Every structure is written in structure tokens, then in C-alpha cells.
């Protein structure tokens, strides 16, 4: 180091340094500051929150010819407080970016103070340095707006050669093709940097989103420094860090939705929308595995319904498209060109429906390795995945797994709380709760609704003769018959041992009788095999009560249940295996007769 080396703050003022750190913090909320060898803080981001009493920092020493050594530091989050910081490897990379930004600023300031332009007076020496720099750098003539130089790192980052972007106007059109973004974000900052130069502020920093030649987007931290009539610009790629924070945010958002009990479909939709925002050309899709081990279309807002209907219900298989194969193999399947893939042989007509030509699919696996579904990315052109897109696919399939497993756990708890463990029908409490909700709108209206009470005839004899396991099997078969005729598990309940109830809103007693007789006839046809091919045959009795009838106002569920129970008792007393309907008139006549 030269004896003439100056302290950092004598070369670049604290305000200018803080502006760079502020821009950095605005883009990536990791607090950065500069410190000398003695531990004295030279500059820090002013927009960041207050420093904690105890802090731990990642540090990087910086040596610039003509400047005394200093350190760039990034403050680590306090994990004990639940903060989500970046991994150490990523923080190290952030230090590299900041070191290059500050070093370039210091070098430019030193060159200006010595009244020479590193661009104009020593172009070959500067180019030699920039050619080897890992940071994307270029310069343009601020008068003619011609781009005079870009280094190899620039070409690697954005894909453009100097011949393809000869002027700033061409570069702006290609790198910022969205006119609204160009006019509202890029150009105001460009004009502001030129105005600042006129007032002695020769350096400006801004975070921008650049469109590369291949159509991908990069989040960059752009720093412009004016040296004479040259406009020296360096770009730091912070896409990975931007994506990390975006993913942390979506991770927290989705976990909050899971914890609050939001609908699974809403959670999956939020996940799909995030992926499509990060990968603009991608079309995301979620398929869920059903109880029959078939993949069902679940969430895919940007795929046509014709395609979703065509693939709905496909089973896992060794060559059933990307998703069917991924579910079968329990591993990621990447198809870069559907029309050249053996996995899609015989299914390319389905790809025609969706106008897609590439599909990468991840199986959504439970913690025990069970396939819960698939998360897929489609493209309208043949496409190979980047490391970023594969990381995103892995991230989303893991999040989807957490949400689905949590929902399954809640469903299992609800099932235990609300449904009969043997038959799957509503238990007594849940049945009456659902029946009451179903009738809430009928309280003040003359609307018909019925309740059917049903009982397996001589069921005690079944248990005594064949045993309780055989009796349980009979109960399950009877419940299946009831659900095959009345397809609403919430309004079909197991009330007691062999007693069942059915609530039928907006059904008359005549219609209810037809339903009850269908159930009785179907049960009578059952042949339940137990104990070494023994066959059990059973019958059922049923009682029906209707409300409202004969000008009667709406009655409560409890009274309706009582009347249906009376009708059931009558059916059993008249010989069983029959259906009886409660009659208010007959009950009054019987009471008068007994009186």
C-alpha cells in the first residue's frame, strides 16, 4: 500500500457511501455498513432499522490502490428472535457485490481528484482490468449516447454483444421492453442521474429489472458514475437474493394461510401465481392424487379446461406424460420437448389442446414418501430448465406437500370429531348440527322437509350369532347402501348402535317414502359374507315425519326426530321390514280412542 494512501472518507464523502448502502438495503433488507481497521464505523445504511445492542457481522476487507484499507460488513439477523436471514454463502456473495461497488466508486473518485479520466486517459489499462472483472460493466458517451464498451461479464449476464446495443436508446428498448416500466421507472431515474451530475453528484445507484436476450429477467443493482463525458455503469446481479427474499415472503404467507385454515385450493392458487410471476413464460399446474390413486386436476388457472378435463383421472404410469411418470417414479421428470419424448408418445394430441411443448413435473411427496400429487411447469416452446427454475420447482413442491399434509391432518381430526369411525356417516352430534343448518332458511316458510329414521331389524341376533366383527361389517354395508341413494354424508347419520337418520330438505313425505323403500329393498338384497363364507341377510324398518303439513308452522329438528321415531316404532310393531309415515291426525285419533 502506498504511503500516500488516503482515508476512505477523504476520497468519498459519508453521504455518498450511505446512499449506496441505502440502495442496497432497499433491494435486499440485509443491513450493511463500512468500518476502518480500528473498528470505527465509517458509513451505514440510514434507512435500515436501529442496530441491536449486540450484533454479529460478516466482514470483507477491501484494498484499493490509493485508499487506506477498510471493511465492508453485513449485519446478521438475530435468529433467536425468529428473523429469517440469508444463508452464510449468500451473505458472502453479497459482500463480494458490495466490495466491487464501493471499490469502483473509490477508484472513480480517486481518478477524478487527480484530474484524469480512467476511461479517457488510460483506456487500455482500464479495459484490461474490466475485461477480467466478474462484474458486468460498460460505458457510454453521455453526449452522443453511444455505447463504447461492454466487458465479457456484461455479455454473459445479459446475452447482448456491443454490436447489438450500439446506443443507449437501443439498449433501453431491448433491456426494458415494457413501455410503462421504461417510462415510469427507468427514464425518470436516467434523467435524475444527469441532473445530479450537473450539481456535482457524480454517482447514482438504482435497482432495476433487466430483460436479457433470452427473455429471462434479472434483478440488478445498477451504479452509474460520471467521469468526464463518459458514463461508467456497473451491474450487480442480485436475482438470487431477490428470489430468496421473495420465497421467504411467499413461504411465510402460505404457512400463515395453512395455520389460519384457509382452503387448500386458495393456498395452491397463491403458490401457482407466485411461480408464474417468477417465471413469466411458465404455466403452473397442481394435480392431486385421489383415494383411487388417480391424478385429478386441481389448480391450473392458465391451462385450458379442455386439457384439464382430458388429463383428469390419469393413473401414475411409466410413460404417461410428465406428471403421470413423475408420480409413478416418485422423482422429477423433465421433458424439454414433448414431441420428442417417449413419455408423451401417444399423448401429444393432449399437448396440442394446451399449446405446450415442454413440461417439467415434480412429484409432491409426503413426509413418509407417499405421492400426494404433482407440481408441473409447462412452456409454449421447447425449454430446458435453468438451475433457478429447478430450485423453484423443488421449493414449490415442498411447500405444497406441507399444505396438503396439514390439510389431511385437519381432515382426519374433523373426521374423528364429526363422523362415525366405523361407517363414515355423520355421528349423532354432527348430524343434528348439519340438519339444523340445512333448515335455517325454512323457519318462517311453508316449505316441506322430511326426516327418515331407520333401524336394522333383529340386529342383536346378528351380533349374538355371528359376533360383533360380523355385525360391524353389516353396519358398513348398510351405510354404503344409504349413501348410494342419498349422496350427502352430512345429512345421513348413525344415531345409535343400529339406528340411522336421514334429513331431506325440500322433500315431501311421498318422495321420502320412495327413498326409504329404495333403501329397504336394497338392504334386503344384501348378502354379507362372514366367517368362512357364511352369509348374513338383514332387513330394515323405517319411519318418516314431514314438516310442514296440514297448515302447521315449521317445527324444530327435535320434534321432527321424535315424530319420525314414533313412525319407526309403529313400523317395527307392525312386523318390521316396512316403512311407516307419521300422521298427526292418526295420532290425535288414537289419543282420543284411548281417552
Give the per-residue pLDDT at 535: 92
As a whole number of angstroms, the distance between CA 589 and CA 568 comes to 19
- Mean pLDDT estimate for the chain: 83
**Distance in angstroms (rounded) separating the CA atoms of residues 454 and 571:** 10
Share of the chain above pLDDT 90, in %: 42
Res 340: pLDDT: 95
The pLDDT, as a whole number, for residue 52 is: 52
Query: What phi and psi values does residue 37 have, to the nearest 5 degrees?
Result: -65, -25
DSSP-assigned beta bridge partners for residue 20: none
Query: Which residue segments constitute the domains of the chain, with CATH numbers given?
Result: 1-115 (3.30.450), 116-237 (3.30.450.20), 263-414 (3.30.450.40), 428-594 (3.30.70.270)
Candidate from 65-79, 153-167, 375-389, 454-468 with smallest mean pLDDT = 65-79
- The per-residue pLDDT for 89 is 58
Mean pLDDT within 164-180: 93
Residue the block writes with cell 468519498: 12
Report the alpha-carbon distance of residue 310 to residue 297 in Å, rounded: 9
Three-class DSSP category at 365? strand
Q: Answer yes or no: are the C-beta atoms of 197 and 249 closer than 8 Å.
A: no
Tell me the C-alpha distance between 24 and 45, whole Å: 8
**Residue 278 φ/ψ, nearest 5 degrees:** -80, -30
Instruction: Provide the total of helices (H) and of strands (E) in the chain, helices listed first.
Output: 20, 21
Question: Can you tell me whether residue 579 is helix, strand or coil?
Answer: strand
For the segment 181-209, the average pLDDT, to the nearest whole number, is 80
| Residue 127: predicted pLDDT | 64
Report the distance separating Cα 247 and Cα 303, nearest Å: 24
| pLDDT higher than threshold 90 for residue 175 | yes
Q: Is the model more confident about 156 or about 60? A: 156
Locate 54 and state its grid cell.
Answer: 449486540
CA distance 547 to 554: 6
What residues are paired with 41 via a beta bridge? 35
Cell of 435: 340438519
- For β-strands 534-536 and 528-530, DSSP reports them as antiparallel
Look at residue 284 and tell me whether its pLDDT is greater than 90: yes
- HSE, CB side, 13 Å, CA atoms: give it for residue 300: 25
- Residues 44 and 42: their CA atoms lie apart, in Å, by 7
Three-state DSSP class for residue 147:
strand
State the SS3 of 362-410: EEEECCCCCEEEEEEEEECCCCCCCHHHHHHHHHHHHHHHHHHHHHHHH
Mean pLDDT for 561-590 is 85
Q: In 506-569, which ranges are E strands?
A: 528-530, 534-536, 540-547
- The three cell numbers of residue 473 are 361389517
Name the pairing type of β-strands 579-581 and 540-547.
parallel
Q: Which residue's entry shows cell 316403512?
A: 579
Q: Is the Cα dihedral 231, 237, 243, 245 positive or negative?
A: negative
Task: Give the residue among 540, 536, 538, 424 at the shortest CA–CA distance from 469.
Answer: 536
pLDDT the model gives residue 81: 43
What is the model's pLDDT at position 277? 85
Q: What is the rounded CA–CA span in Å between residue 25 and residue 46? A: 9
Q: Is the dihedral of CA 273, 279, 282, 286 positive or negative?
A: negative
Cα→Cα distances 3→8, 11, 67, 110, 522, Å: 14, 15, 10, 15, 102
Cell of 489: 354424508
Alpha helices in 503-556 (DSSP H): 509-524
For residue 536, the SS3 value is strand
Q: How confident is the model at residue 523 (pLDDT cuts 50, 70, 90)?
A: very high
Handedness of CA 550, 551, 556, 557 (dihedral sign): positive
Q: Give me Rg for the CA atoms of the chain.
A: 37
User: Prior bond to 181 cis, omega within 30?
Assistant: no
Query: What DSSP designation does 184 have?
Result: I
Largest CA distance in the chain: 124
Q: Find the mean pLDDT for residues 143-154.
A: 91
Residue 83 has pLDDT above 50, yes or no: no
Amino acid at each position: 500500500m502506498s504511503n500516500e494512501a488516503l482515508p476512505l472518507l477523504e476520497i468519498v464523502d459519508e453521504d455518498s457511501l450511505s446512499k449506496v448502502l441505502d440502495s442496497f438495503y432497499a433491494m435486499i433488507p440485509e443491513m450493511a455498513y463500512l468500518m476502518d481497521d480500528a473498528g470505527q464505523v465509517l458509513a451505514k445504511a440510514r434507512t435500515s432499522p436501529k442496530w441491536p445492542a449486540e450484533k454479529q457481522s460478516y466482514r470483507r476487507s477491501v484494498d484499493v490502490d490509493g485508499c487506506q484499507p477498510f471493511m465492508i460488513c453485513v449485519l446478521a439477523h438475530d435468529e433467536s428472535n425468529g428473523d429469517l436471514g440469508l444463508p452464510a454463502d449468500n451473505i458472502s456473495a453479497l459482500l463480494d457485490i458490495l466490495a466491487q461497488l464501493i471499490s469502483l466508486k473509490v477508484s472513480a473518485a480517486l481518478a477524478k481528484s487527480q484530474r484524469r479520466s480512467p476511461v479517457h486517459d488510460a483506456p487500455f489499462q482500464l479495459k484490461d482490468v474490466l475485461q477480467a472483472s466478474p462484474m458486468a460493466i460498460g460505458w457510454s458517451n453521455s453526449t452522443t449516447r453511444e455505447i463504447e464498451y461492454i466487458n465479457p461479464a456484461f455479455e454473459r449476464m445479459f446475452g447482448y454483444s456491443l454490436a447489438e446495443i450500439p446506443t443507449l436508446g437501443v439498449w433501453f428498448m431491448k433491456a426494458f421492453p415494457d413501455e410503462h416500466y421504461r417510462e415510469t421507472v427507468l427514464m425518470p431515474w436516467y434523467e435524475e442521474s444527469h441532473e445530479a451530475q450537473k450539481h456535482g453528484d457524480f454517482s447514482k445507484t438504482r435497482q432495476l429489472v433487466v430483460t436479457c436476450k433470452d427473455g429471462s429477467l434479472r434483478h440488478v443493482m445498477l451504479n452509474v458514475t460520471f467521469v468526464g463525458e463518459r458514463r461508467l455503469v456497473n451491474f450487480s446481479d442480485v436475482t438470487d437474493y431477490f428470489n430468496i427474499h421473495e420465497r421467504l415472503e411467499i413461504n411465510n404467507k402460505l404457512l400463515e394461510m395453512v395455520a389460519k385454515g384457509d382452503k387448500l385450493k386458495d393456498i395452491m392458487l397463491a403458490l401457482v401465481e407466485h411461480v408464474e410471476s417468477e417465471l413469466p413464460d411458465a404455466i403452473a399446474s397442481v394435480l392431486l392424487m385421489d383415494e383411487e390413486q388417480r391424478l385429478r386436476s386441481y389448480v391450473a388457472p392458465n391451462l385450458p379446461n379442455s386439457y384439464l378435463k382430458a388429463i383428469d383421472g390419469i393413473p401414475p404410469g411409466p410413460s404417461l406424460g410428465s406428471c403421470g411418470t413423475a408420480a409413478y417414479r416418485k422423482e422429477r421428470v423433465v421433458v424439454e420437448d414433448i414431441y420428442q419424448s417417449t413419455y408423451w408418445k401417444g399423448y401429444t394430441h393432449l399437448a396440442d389442446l394446451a399449446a405446450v411443448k415442454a413440461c417439467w413435473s415434480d412429484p409432491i411427496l409426503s413426509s413418509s414418501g407417499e405421492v400426494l400429487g404433482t407440481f408441473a411447469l409447462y412452456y409454449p416452446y421447447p425449454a430446458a430448465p435453468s438451475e433457478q427454475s429447478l430450485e423453484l420447482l423443488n421449493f414449490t413442491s415442498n411447500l405444497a406437500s406441507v399444505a396438503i399434509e396439514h390439510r389431511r391432518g385437519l381432515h382426519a381430526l374433523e373426521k374423528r370429531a364429526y363422523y362415525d369411525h366405523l361407517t363414515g356417516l355423520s355421528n349423532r352430534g354432527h348430524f343434528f348440527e348439519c340438519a339444523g343448518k340445512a333448515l335455517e332458511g325454512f323457519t318462517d316458510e311453508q316449505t316441506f322437509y322430511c326426516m327418515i329414521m331407520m333401524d336394522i331389524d333383529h340386529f342383536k341376533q346378528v351380533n349374538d350369532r355371528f359376533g360383533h366383527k360380523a355385525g360391524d361389517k353389516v353396519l358398513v354395508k348398510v351405510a354404503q347402501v344409504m349413501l348410494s341413494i342419498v349422496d350427502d354424508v352430512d345429512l345421513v347419520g348413525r344415531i345409535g348402535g343400529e339406528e340411522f337418520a336421514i334429513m331431506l330438505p325440500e322433500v315431501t313425505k311421498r318422495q321420502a317414502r320412495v327413498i326409504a323403500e329404495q333403501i329397504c329393498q336394497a338392504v334386503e338384497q344384501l348378502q354379507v359374507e362372514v366367517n368362512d363364507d357364511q352369509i348374513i341377510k338383514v332387513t330394515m324398518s323405517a319411519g318418516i315425519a314431514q314438516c310442514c303439513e296440514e297448515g302447521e308452522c315449521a317445527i324444530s329438528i327435535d320434534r321432527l326426530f321424535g315424530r319420525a321415531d314414533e313412525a319407526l316404532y309403529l313400523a317395527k310393531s307392525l312386523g318390521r321390514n316396512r316403512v311407516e309415515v307419521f300422521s298427526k291426525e292418526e295420532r290425535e285419533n288414537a289419543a282420543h280412542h284411548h281417552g
